[in-house]
Every structure is written in C-alpha cells, then in structure tokens.
Amino acid sequence: MNKYNEVEYLMISGIQHFAFCRRQWGLIHIDKKWAENYHTTLGEQIHERVHDPFLNEKRKDVIIARGMKVVSHELGITGECDVVELRQDKDGVPVFGHRGLFSVYPIEYKKGKPKVSDEDVLQLVAQTICLEEMFCFPIHYGAIYYATTKRREEIKITAELKQKVKDYFIEMHSYFQNQHIPQVKKSKKCQQCSLKELCIPEDNGKSVLEYIHLAMKEE
C-alpha cells in the first residue's frame, strides 16, 4: 500500500530547491511562484537539449535513455532523469525489448561547475532511489555532468546520502501537507535566488505589505 496519494507526490527536482533554501522550495512548490533569471533560463535550455527524444541512442553495449519518467511510491516522489545509461552487465537486470542484462547508471545535467554544497548530489541520489525501486536493482554510482566544465563528476551513492534524501522528503511532505511555507534567515545566497524579489521585496525599498498591494493592482 502506498504511503501517499498521487496528488501528494512531490517533484524530485524540488530537493535541490529545498537543500538550497527551504523557503525557495515553498514558494515554488507550495505557492507556485517562479521568477526566471539567467540561471534558471540557462538550466532549462540545457535540460531541453538533454530531453530531446530524437537524441535517444544505443552505443555498443550501452542503451542511452533520455527523459526517463521515474517514481518512488515509498517516498512519494516523481520526476524525470536527464539520462540513464543501461550498461550490459552479467550481474544486471533484464530490460524490456533488449537482450541481455543491464546495470543502471543515472546522469544528471547541470549548468555551471561542481558546487561545494550538495543540492545537485541530493537530486541525483533521489533519482537513484526511484530507479532502484523501479528496477529492483542496487545502484552504487551515478554522475553529474556540468555544462561549464563539460565533464562528468562521478558520485558514489552512499547509505548516508540516501538517508539524508529520505529525511528531507519527509520534512517536505510535512510542509506540503500543511501548506506551510518555511521562514528562513536572509543570507548571501539570497542574491543568486530567482525568487529574491518575491521573497524579500523590502530590498526594493517597499515593505512586504506595499509589495502585496502593488501586486494585487497589477493583476
């Protein structure tokens, strides 16, 4: 029996927002607000290229699946993997429509370069948890491809990372079910947030109340 109804399933991609800033996640996934900036637009362009169905291919013993829909009923999450490489492996699992056995290797595409923080890694690990549940096969490694460096960074999928992802999604489900947007302290990373003007409108010389009144007049 599933822990969550389908309408309660959270987007996998949300964990990168949550890890970056709980309030940003709340504004996007609970309040449904989104303000595009250079960073989000560039990221979407990269993902559109990756998810192009005409780029699906097979290279020797590797099937390259793009935009694969994934889900974890245990965690109540769903989304897409940018790329999943299915590699022929005698200890792997069968894949419908293909001969042989395959191991599963997820790859997440990101703009920029590797981060010191772990939000990108947590998104990859969340995808891995979904793939393990779907394929009934353990996945020990995945990779993140960064557009700036044009390199894959291989990530070891540890039990500690999986537990962190699970704990985050439990917390996210609690906020979502209560429709509560978390409050956070202002920090340096606010300057890079695409929701800065919605989150802290007082930076523009207006009070929050003035911002709300102005927004209502513009609707």
Domains in the chain, CATH or no CATH each = 6-180 (3.90.320), 185-219 (no CATH)
- Residue with tokens 């969340």, as numbered in its chain: 126
Crossing angle between the packed helical segments 159-178 and 22-29, to the nearest 10 degrees: 50
Candidates 167, 119, 121; CA nearest to 143 is: 121
**In the 8-state DSSP scheme, what is residue 9?**
P
Predicted pLDDT at 54: 46
Predicted pLDDT at 32: 75
What is the rounded CA–CA span in Å between residue 114 and residue 154? 11
Predicted pLDDT at 89: 96
Per-residue pLDDT of the chain (219 residues; tens, 9 = 90+): 578 888 899 999 999 999 999 998 998 888 876 645 544 655 566 566 565 654 567 788 899 999 999 999 999 999 999 999 999 999 999 998 889 999 999 999 998 899 889 999 999 999 999 999 999 999 999 999 999 999 999 999 999 999 999 999 999 999 999 999 888 888 888 888 878 877 865 554 444 445 445 444 444
Diameter over CA atoms, the chain: 64
Candidates 8, 9, 28; CA nearest to 18 is: 28
Predicted pLDDT at 51: 57
